[in-house]
Structure 1
């Protein structure tokens, strides 16, 4: 059978059409709108050049939400990269009924954010489970206003993000763990290596590709966090938990400033792209050092 050079492109065509319609076209449209004054009321947007970006960089609320987003990134990503490794090691043991624990740890991932948010609002309530437990063991005397205090609201939501993402990234690490040859662990055991030494010298280096994937995915997820903020705090109190995506949402759909929101979206895209590239470069250096 004669090979036709354009045949592979026919297989790629459906995927390219879907990506073009739902990813690339909206992205290019958002970039164009960021240079206009489009507000969803006037049908024809007017080109205003860099005015939206100039106004954005002078907007104190934009810088506040960007700072919150970066704090979210710095706090959440390390937790979602490190903690699932040990959770995956735990559920990778060959024990009776271990499948039940794997499923149980994954339940938060498939739980609706609406359900999870309402449940955690109850946990964080003034007379909720969290305050009850902390008061019972004597850590606090008075109830903490977890979701209504400017000091704790953002960090309370971060804890829920970590809780919900642990099972998802655990599965990625679990797949990587099961690809590690048992011979390496057997040889290390013969040499007298402890569990911790085997984890540091064998498990983590062999999981480097999975760590790269988790780092990039969790970084992107942290930069575009929205659902938990919307459900649990609404960006309050006093914008203390408002993130950049929530800022974009309000500008676009509450205030109908689509051009201004598009400019903020472009900035968010560029920041996310930079962090992704940095993660990939760092991971590549680690892979080369391990090799």
Structure 2
């Protein structure tokens, strides 16, 4: 009797859940399948073209200088941003974990940049990095009179500015999540280390860093995915310029699909990005499981 009642409850649970799973599955699987299918076609709405071309789009991707430039900057952007997120995020988390007055207030206001929309930040940064009246150059001129630099019209400085604004926005959120991991480290461990003569630096590398490393690696998975899929900061701040030097791959996909209306080529880029994200996710998960399980 008890088993029959349990089975009835299980069937009721599945009946209630299946419609949601079907809807959710359709909204995930169908767009991926359709994008994958279109990636083998030359679909250009402005010219009325819809022809099957096989893997031609995939071959063209690696011969397209604009795409190669976007791929190069995407790698630079992701690596530089994540490296600085981890280094500065851990440093900020350690500061926020210290005991001082107004600690709770500081933890609250530090999240303000993260709460702002990236498009707003990008538009503000576009003005902030202006040579004539931008906040950045005005600040530098306090220490270096007659400083002149048009940040967003030179490749290296424009790329640096994009990375800097991405870090400025999401670093506080990363730090708060690392801070949560720090909260779980018992104070007794540090007290024992101090008794044994360990200094602050030794305690960090021997106790703090090993204990929060798993959290850092786990956090790196979604943060890396967000960097790969970044679009709005480039759209609002540089529009991919100068030339195509700050055009991230997600911005290139949007340009091809919705500006040029070249849906086949844009779908090809989207599928490539999708598989890159899947591979990176699997690598991160493998490293976490192998190192910490």
Q: Deviations over 1:89-148 (max 9, x none)?
A: 21123433211111111111110223212222232110322212223213x753111112
1:129 and 2:135 correspond? yes
Contact 1:208 1:283 in 2 (8 A): no
Change (3 A) 1:69 1:249: same
Gaps of 5+ in 2: none
Change (3 A) 1:204 1:14: farther
Contact 1:68 1:240 in 2 (8 A): yes
1:159 maps to which residue? Answer: 164
Greater Cα shift, 41-50 or 257-266: 41-50
Distance 2:69 2:170 in 1: 25
Change (3 A) 1:17 1:172: farther
Change (3 A) 1:106 1:12: farther
Change (3 A) 1:149 1:223: same
1:261 maps to which residue? Answer: 266
Gaps of 5+ in 1: none
2:54 aligned to 42, 45, 49, which one?
49
Q: Deviations over 1:203-254 (max 9, x none)?
A: 1111122112221122111211111100000000111111111110010001
2:63 maps to which residue? Answer: 58
Contact 2:129 2:135 in 1 (8 A): yes
SS of residue in 1 equivalent to 2:155: coil
Aligned-residue offset at 1:192: 2.2
SS of residue in 1 equivalent to 2:151: coil
Q: TM-score, normalised by structure 1?
A: 0.90
Contact 1:208 1:287 in 2 (8 A): no
Distance 2:50 2:11 in 1: 40
Contact 2:140 2:147 in 1 (8 A): no
- Provide the aligned C-alpha RMSD in A: 2.3
Change (3 A) 1:244 1:207: same
Change (3 A) 1:199 1:49: same
1:213 aligned to 215, 218, 230, which one?
218
Change (3 A) 1:66 1:100: same
SS of residue in 2 equivalent to 1:147: helix
Greater Cα shift, 2-11 or 100-109: 2-11
Aligned-residue offset at 1:15: 5.5
